[in-house]
Chains A and B, each alone.
Chain A
Amino acid sequence: MNVAVSRAGRRWLWLVFWLLTLFLYAPLVILLIFSFNDRELVSFPWEGFTLHWYQTFLDNPEILTALRVSVVVATLTAVVTTILAIPASIALVRRRFFGKGLVSGVMLAPLVIPLVVLGTALLILFNTIGIPFSPLTIAIGHIVIALPFAILTLVPRLERIPAALEEASRDLGAGWSTTFRQITFPLMLPAIFSAFLLSFVISFDEVVIASFVAGDEVTFPVYLYSQLRLPRQLPQVIAVAVVVLTISAIVVTISEVLRRMTDKSLEETTRVHDEEEVSVA
């Protein structure tokens, strides 16, 4: 007997699960289907299959520029965030130090601040110290919000790597940097990869901060936001949307699957074997 649920209850729960899944995916699928509809208005009736909207967006310089800016900002964000998150997570997991609670509080605080407030705050900061808005200022803001996510991706992985491995390396004569290069970094790599992708996706998707501190070059979400309010080129925009959605969904799924797989394999190889000695082949 399953104590969590009765047989009928189980059926209901599965029904809820599949309905929710349908609810989550249906809008995305509809967007996908109608991006191929040969009609100015995104609606019924179905006028026939076309790739026209995909072709026109490739010819639209505004969209392409915005996408390029977004890729630059997201790449910069992902690189810097990862570089900052690695030492931060190592310190939080491996080191004893005074004020750890405060430090980890500051590191994770961007998780709990409404973006409109952070956008406001950065706008005032950059105006106070006189930094002109540009893709760089957008990236600065995105690094702030991506950092806690990156740290929270790295911390569980680090906790799964026994500290004794690093101690063993030190004990065998390696200094801090050799130990990091030979032991910690290779074992953290899958999580570093996840943290990088997650930071990239967060930045690529972010619209509020980007619209507060954007200069003349806007990112794709900011462009999209402005287009949605004045829906002239909607079918084209939807075509881009489908491409971006598909790519990000694939990337995110791969990184998640990878992370879980490598976590499992790390657990297996560091597990202490209890069974009898296996025969020497």
Chain B
Amino acid sequence: MSDPGVAISIQRVRKSFGDVRAVDGISLDIAEGEFLTLLGPSGCGKTTTMRLIAGFEEPDEGTILLRGTDVVGVPPNKREVNMCFQHYALFPHMAVERNIEYGLKLKKVPKGDRQRIVAEMLEIVGLAGMQQRKPGQLSGGQQQRVALARALVNQPAALLLDEPLGALDVKLRKHMQLELKRIQHELRTTFVYVTHDQDEALSMSDRIAVMNQGVIEQLGTPREVYEQPATPFVADFVGVLNAMDVRVDEVAGEDLVMRVSDRDRIVVPVGPLGTEASVGSSLLVAVRPERVELSIGDGAAGNGSRLSGTVGQVVYLGTLTQFHVDTAIGERLIVHHLSDDLSSMVNRGDEVVLTWARTDAAVLSS
């Protein structure tokens, strides 16, 4: 009935709290050994989805299969998944060793084996020799590693991580991202990772499920989600969005064209829209800020898009400089440009030309 390569299968799951539909019909297969991220803003249902998998909540409708077995109604202590909690949830009255061996003890693993397994796991998470420390004596990063070790010693079918890095400062977070990736690679455990941080999701995941208002808006690799956002929400949430309402004036071969003025135009490949798009139809078109070229004077459009405009605001971001440009079509576009000589020359109020290749524009909806 089920594919042996699937660790977790969520089928048509719904969950409401009172009038709030936290999860509103989700289906998702997570493969063995995969690093899958549930990405979305707070309240989108990602944590509820995770808690449904762990067994802390029961779905109102739908099925959850763990390695092919229906686990609906099975309490969390009888489910083969383990969780890394948002604030680690280390037992404050137990030393590191007792925290980590907690699950093993419940499975009646003999003491000698427990000590060996704990020591090995501490080695893997980089805390060798810290068995006797109390959680209160550890830094945030170390507590994080203990929480990870405590879950992983049980060799779960999947490890569920609920915003595990949320409480760490930026530098440590970057470091722990790499560590998590390394550990996952080393142990080949399925990771289900919940976060609202799109950078984290993009840099760590095999696949990302972008969630909004209880549904999955898009499921795909980081590259797919970033470069071919399926909906305006995804485009907006994963990175900065430039969205434009475009009315099709002309269908030229493989391209849809909107003429703005005699020199300015927006070009979108027909692509998946196929014959649906015709002259007169309206499209929502998105382009990534870093895909837009900014130039002073004449920008050559080639077979791509070209828009002239006035710089409304300049924001220096370090490596990049962000320009907010009021364009001829009446929309303000955001442009990222390397902080080089050109960007230091452009000031507020300057006339500029924006261009981008025809394939860099994505149609969000029609």
On A, residues with C-beta under 8 Å from B are: 162, 164-165, 167-175, 178, 182-183, 186-187, 266, 268-270, 272-278, 280
Contact = CB atoms under 8 A, between A and B. Distances in A.
Interface in B151-176: 151, 154, 167-169, 171-172
B210 to A, nearest CB: 26
Contact of A173 (B88, B106, B129, B143): B106
Interface in B50-77: 54-56, 75-77
Interface in B114-161: 127, 129-130, 134-136, 138-143, 150-151, 154
Contacts of B142: 277-278
A152 to B, nearest CB: 23
Could you say which of A164, A173, A278, A280 has the most chain B C-beta atoms within 10 Å of its C-beta?
A: A173
21 contacts: A162-B89, A164-B86, A165-B92, A167-B83, A167-B85, A167-B89, A170-B55, A170-B56, A170-B76, A170-B77, A171-B55, A171-B151, A172-B151, A173-B77, A173-B154, A187-B92, A269-B135, A272-B88, A276-B172, A278-B139, A280-B129
A273 B147 CA distance: 14
Interface of B: 54-56, 75-78, 81-83, 85-93, 102-103, 106-107, 127, 129-130, 134-136, 138-143, 150-151, 154, 167-169, 171-172
Name the 8 nearest CB pairs between A and B, nearest first: A269-B136, A269-B92, A164-B89, A172-B103, A273-B140, A168-B89, A173-B106, A277-B141
Contacts of B150: 168, 172
Nearest to A166: B89
A117 to B, nearest CB: 38
B17 to A, nearest CB: 9
Contact of A164 (B55, B87, B138, B172): B87
Contacts of A272: 87-88, 140, 143, 167
A170 B140 CA distance: 23
Contacts of A270: 87, 92
Contact of A171 (B77, B130, B138): B77
A277 B86 contact: no
A172 B169 contact: no
Contacts of A278: 138-139, 142
B114 to A, nearest CB: 13
Nearest to A183: B91
Contacts of B56: 167, 170-171
Q: Is the interface of A mostly helix, strand, loop or mixed?
A: helix
Contacts of B139: 273, 275-278
Could you say which of A168, A169, A172 has the most chain B C-beta atoms within 10 Å of its C-beta?
A: A172
A178 B134 contact: no
Given A269-B135, A276-B139, A172 B102 contact: yes
A169 to B, nearest CB: 7
Contacts of B55: 170-171
Contacts of A269: 92-93, 134-136
Contacts of B151: 171-172
Contacts of A175: 75, 77
Given A186-B93, A273-B140, A172 B168 contact: no
A162 to B, nearest CB: 6
A211 B310 CA distance: 89
Contacts of B88: 272
B54 A172 contact: no
A172 B80 CA distance: 9
A4 B202 CA distance: 51
A29 B134 CA distance: 45
Could you say which of B89, B103, B150, B169 has the most chain A C-beta atoms within 10 Å of its C-beta?
A: B89
A170 to B, nearest CB: 4
Contacts of B85: 164, 167-168
A125 to B, nearest CB: 39
B54 A171 contact: yes
A187 B167 contact: no
Contacts of B136: 268-269
A186 to B, nearest CB: 5
Contacts of A164: 85-87, 89
Contacts of A173: 77-78, 103, 106-107, 154
Nearest to B134: A269
A174 B106 contact: yes
B174 to A, nearest CB: 13
Contacts of A182: 91, 102
A273 B76 CA distance: 28
Contacts of A187: 92-93
B169 A274 contact: yes
A205 to B, nearest CB: 33
